[in-house]
């Protein structure tokens, strides 16, 4: 057992990290195919991005239930947001374009951020009310937009709030809060009105994800799970065949590990 110190905006949080063994992981099933990247939703549906930019949705039994093939128009997808399985966001960063799909992967809308004078965005995320959060790097502001690209809400300039301009790559809307993760700095936490609530000094984690009451991530051969409510951190030392995976993803009870052309799905405690 070891102790790790985390700093919030107003006080120190003392957390305990409990090292687990690799027997905590049990292989449930595998998915094989042309898999360049993937993500999962809170119902354990898996979304696969192929080398040809095809997006395919598999249900939790592994059955294909939707495919998006209209890829030539938009180029390389850099982010897939599946926070709401009924509404999927595809973000094409090089073209500053968000494609909104319904649950059958039919295009609902296309948002060209450049036409809205939002010119430099690396991270987007779906909001609880089916709007879209994004971080405008030129203005250093978190913004909420609707499907027409209209700005509904924006924070003050982050340089005024924090004295620095972060560069978040992940945005999650979870349980009444919005989390922006800059791996070089911290997790910036806001309420739904854009007010700063906290700053969690988690940095250097890969495969970062907020899911329910947990923040997940990995670093080297260690998997981390941070409990947002209790500030406790659990650690698992990953066996060699796992920590050399290309990428991880998480739900509350499952670990997804992407190998060369296979996703291995593990239950863990």
Q: How many domains does the chain have?
A: 1
* 162: in domain: yes
* 258: in domain: yes
| CA–CA–CA angle 39, 146, 179 (5° rounding) | 50
Q: Which domain holds residue 167?
A: 30-211+247-268
| CA–CA–CA angle 98, 32, 29 (5° rounding) | 105
Distance in angstroms (rounded) separating the CA atoms of residues 264 and 62? 12
The CATH number given to whatever domain includes residue 118 is 2.120.10.30
* 36: in domain: yes
Q: Which residues of the chain have pLDDT under 50?
A: 1-19, 21
* 151: in domain: yes
Ordered strands of the 12-20 beta sheet: 2-7, 12-20, 233-237, 222-227, 214-219, 206-211
Residues 98/105, Cβ–Cβ less than 8 Å: no
The tens digit of pLDDT for each residue in 47-83 reads 999 988 899 999 988 999 999 987 667 778 899 999 9
The pTM assigned to this predicted structure is: 0.89
* 234: in domain: no
Please tell me the predicted confidence (pLDDT) of residue 7.
Answer: 39
Strand, coil or helix: what is 118? coil
CA dist 117 → 111, 113, 121, 171, 175 (Å): 12, 6, 11, 20, 30
- The DSSP secondary-structure symbol of 156 reads P
* 168: in domain: yes
* 129: in domain: yes
Residues 166/158, Cβ–Cβ less than 8 Å: yes
The tens digit of pLDDT for each residue in 229-261 reads 999 999 999 888 888 899 999 998 899 999 989
Handedness of CA 256, 228, 206, 137 (dihedral sign): positive
């Amino acid at each position: 057992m070891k102790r790790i110190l985390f700093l919030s905006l107003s006080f120190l949080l003392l957390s305990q990290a409990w090292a687990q063994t690799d027997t905590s992981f049990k292989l449930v099933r595998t998915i094989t195919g042309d898999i360049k990247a993937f993500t999962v939703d809170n119902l354990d549906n898996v979304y696969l991005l192929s080398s040809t930019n095809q997006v395919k949705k598999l249900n939790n039994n592994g059955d294909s239930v939707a495919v998006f093939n209209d890829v030539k128009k938009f180029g390389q997808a850099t982010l897939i947001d599946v926070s709401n399985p009924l509404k999927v966001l595809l973000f094409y960063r090089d073209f500053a374009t968000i494609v909104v799909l319904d649950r059958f992967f039919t295009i609902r809308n296309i948002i060209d951020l450049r036409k809205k004078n939002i010119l430099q965005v690396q991270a987007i995320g779906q909001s609880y009310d089916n709007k879209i959060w994004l971080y405008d790097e030129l203005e250093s502001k978190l913004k909420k937009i609707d499907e027409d690209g209209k700005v509904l809400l924006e924070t003050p300039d982050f340089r005024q709030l924090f004295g620095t301009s972060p560069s978040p790559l992940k945005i999650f809307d979870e349980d009444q809060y919005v989390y922006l993760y800059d791996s070089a700095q911290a997790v910036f936490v806001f309420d739904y009105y854009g007010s700063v609530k906290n700053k969690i000094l988690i940095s250097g984690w890969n495969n970062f994800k907020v899911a329910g009451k947990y923040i997940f991530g990995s670093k080297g051969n260690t998997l981390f799970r941070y409990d947002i409510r209790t500030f406790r951190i659990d650690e698992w030392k990953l066996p060699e065949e796992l920590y050399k995976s290309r990428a991880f993803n998480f739900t509350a009870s499952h670990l997804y590990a992407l190998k060369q052309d296979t996703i291995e799905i593990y239950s863990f405690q």
